Amino acid sequence: MHPIAFQLGPLSIHWYGVMVALGFLAGLWTAGRRAMHAGIAAEKIIDLGPWLIVGAILGARTLYVMSYWHESFEGRPTAEVFMVWKGGLVFYGGLIGSSLACILFTTMKKLPLWKVADSLAPSVALGYVFGRIGCLLNGCCYGRACSLPWAIRFPADNPLNPPTYPVHPTEVYESLLNLCLYGALAWLFRRKKFDGQVFGVYLVGYALLRSFVEMFRGDYPEHQHYLGGWATPAHLVSIAILAAGLVLLCLLPRHEPKRP
């Protein structure tokens, strides 16, 4: 666990922010190259980048503050709501925010929404690989107690107070699973049967792998367990995302996508 990457005078650069930035850069670069195969100029994806970044950060931070208001923000200075460099971003909020930003941008620029979404989908999984490593370095999103050989232990003198007993490395679980998802989606992109298929498969695939990893998460307060105590907030959102992905895969037109 190493929250601080380096110091620039009085300014502390956090590893969480560095890894999120690297995730965005890797995602935009790979999505731009992929978009060219769909007849979309890579420059259009680069232009979309700032919209996605703003939408993702606003959505991710908003959902985090709503979810952890009583535990982390109630009674504290209002400025802490905006300190995203210290961690505290909920991926599903970022996915919703960036999706809305993408819809707005493609509508304004008259770009084919589902072709753009298919180009972006694998890169979202790739960016998430970096983001979860940032969570590991930051000490958030940790797992339940674990006695397996690959359990990890956080140091006692850390600002986020994760448990110091051995826990599941849930951040590593999600990074590895998303790397596999990236490979599968990149393979599917060259073989898709209709526009929007890759994005729909991403929604279904991520909802399933996230639900699996959530079974090992240990950072939720007791009052945020539902359905008899086994379901976390992410489980509930995963159900909605899974349903949305299945609806897209069933309802999107089945014509063969045109090749440039």
Asked, for residue 257, whether it belongs to a domain, the answer is no
pLDDT, position 72? 63
pLDDT, position 141? 86
pLDDT, position 206? 96
Is residue 84 predicted with pLDDT exceeding 70? no
pLDDT, position 79? 64
pTM (2 decimals)?
Answer: 0.87
Lowest mean pLDDT of 57-61, 95-99, 101-105, 218-222, name the range: 218-222
Asked, for residue 12, whether it belongs to a domain, the answer is yes
Is residue 214 predicted with pLDDT exceeding 80? yes
Is residue 86 predicted with pLDDT exceeding 70? no
Residues 6+ apart with CB under 8 A from 187: none
Asked, for residue 260, whether it belongs to a domain, the answer is no
Q: From CA 137, how far away is CA 159, in angstroms rounded?
A: 12
Residues 6+ apart with CB under 8 A from 189: 34, 37, 118, 119, 121, 122, 198
Asked, for residue 258, whether it belongs to a domain, the answer is no
Asked, for residue 259, whether it belongs to a domain, the answer is no
Quote the domain boundaries for residue 123: 4-251
Q: What is the mean pLDDT of residues 64-81?
A: 66
Question: What total of structural domains would you count in the chain?
Answer: 1
Which of residues 13 and 39 earns the better pLDDT score?
Answer: 39
Element of type H or E holding 188: helix 170-189
Asked, for residue 56, whether it belongs to a domain, the answer is yes
Q: Which of 251, 235, 236, 248 is nearest to 121 (CA)?
A: 248
Asked, for residue 137, whether it belongs to a domain, the answer is yes
Residues 6+ apart with CB under 8 A from 133: 19, 171, 175
Asked, for residue 150, whether it belongs to a domain, the answer is yes
For the segment 25-53, what is each residue's pLDDT rounded down to a tens digit?
A: 999 999 999 999 999 999 999 999 999 99
Q: From CA 188, how far away is CA 172, in angstroms rounded?
A: 24
pLDDT, position 230? 79
